[in-house]
Amino acid sequence: MPVPGPPFASASRVPLADLPDARSRARGAFLGLALGDALGATVEFLTPGEIRAAHGTHREIVGGGWLHLRPGRVTDDTEMSLCIARAIDAAGGWDLRLVADRLVAWMRAGPVDVGSTVRKGLRRYLLEGTLSGPPSDGDGGNGAAMRIVPVALATLGDGALLEEWAVAQARLTHHHPLSDAATVHVGELVHLGVAGRGKPRLRRATDALVARVPAFAFEPYRGLATGYVVDTLQTVLHAFFTTSGFEECLVATVNRGGDADTTGAIAGAVAGAYYGEEALPQRWLRRLDRTVRAEIVRLSDRLVALSPLGRGGAS
């Protein structure tokens, strides 16, 4: 199985000044992640039939779900992403040990939810100090892909750098070739979206991934939305490429049920980068936890400024 393939071409080789909406699209990606997380958490672990029985079509941020969340509360998808964003901001760049320390501190503080593979990996780091676990067939979950947005924003303009940092942070908890490939590809789609590329360009990138790793083929769509990273990415890609707007994409994604907070978070990141901040529904943004929203906006701008694109162009 390829891991995860040759570095893709940089999403943009022009200065940030020539991409006037890049910062807005970057905020759209990070806020989209949080919105998808908050929207999907309500229906996590439900089947599509159970969602229809309880909500009709689930399209509002109302909280609840198996975690009994208040409306607008986010889960581990957004919280781990914020840990990584804070670490990059504090270091002024990449410090994997600081990323690991931030994630461990988050776990020890008793978050609302921690995935079992994430917990295992962070406990290994806490006890052994190792920044990568051994390869494991059990590490094919979506916990690394769901926290890639800050890495994508901090590496704008440099696809090889994205791949390096994406795989490094992934293997803190998930050492599996499918996790690596999915994590890098989500970052690639965020890069392309922030650079303002059209959907045909994003589709070509996805087709290249599927050619390298046929497991990710999503046509015909199998309808599985589990925490297995293949099912997660297939659900996100199907929703993104068969819809024509941010809200439509996220509603289609989370109504598949299953691991809906994570499929929603990843779909929100990709769609937010592609459609831009202005496409995010205001009623959803008003529901999102105000502290989380403010920090995401601040850190999104900081990460773009620290990126190769923000420093004057791609390398």
Q: What is the DSSP string of 53-88?
A: HHHSS--S---BTTTTBPTT---HHHHHHHHHHHHH
- Report which residue type is found at 307: S
- Say which residue the tokens 């925490």 belong to: 227
Name the region of 101 (left: φ>0; alpha: ψ -120 to 50; beta: rest). Answer: alpha
The pLDDT assigned to 312 comes to 76
CA distance 147 to 159: 17
CA distance 54 to 103: 35
Before 220, cis peptide (omega within 30)?
yes
Backbone angles phi, psi at 243, to 5 degrees: -125, 170
- Residue 231's SS3 state is helix
Backbone angles phi, psi at 228, to 5 degrees: -65, 130
The pLDDT assigned to 5 comes to 59
CA distance 35 to 107: 22
- Report which residue type is found at 42: T
Closest CA to 199 of 260, 231, 142, 246: 246
Burial track 35-51 (b if 16+ CB lie within 10 A, e otherwise): bbbbbbbbbbebeeeeb
CA distance 101 to 96: 9
The pLDDT assigned to 17 comes to 54
The pLDDT assigned to 269 comes to 98
For the chain, 315 residues long, the average pLDDT of each consecutive 10-residue run is: 51 56 96 98 98 97 97 98 98 98 97 96 97 96 98 97 98 98 98 97 98 98 98 98 98 98 98 98 98 98 95 57
The pLDDT assigned to 8 comes to 55
The pLDDT assigned to 273 comes to 98
The pLDDT assigned to 50 comes to 98
Closest CA to 101 of 129, 74, 73: 129
pTM of this structure: 0.95
The pLDDT assigned to 315 comes to 33
CA distance 153 to 144: 16
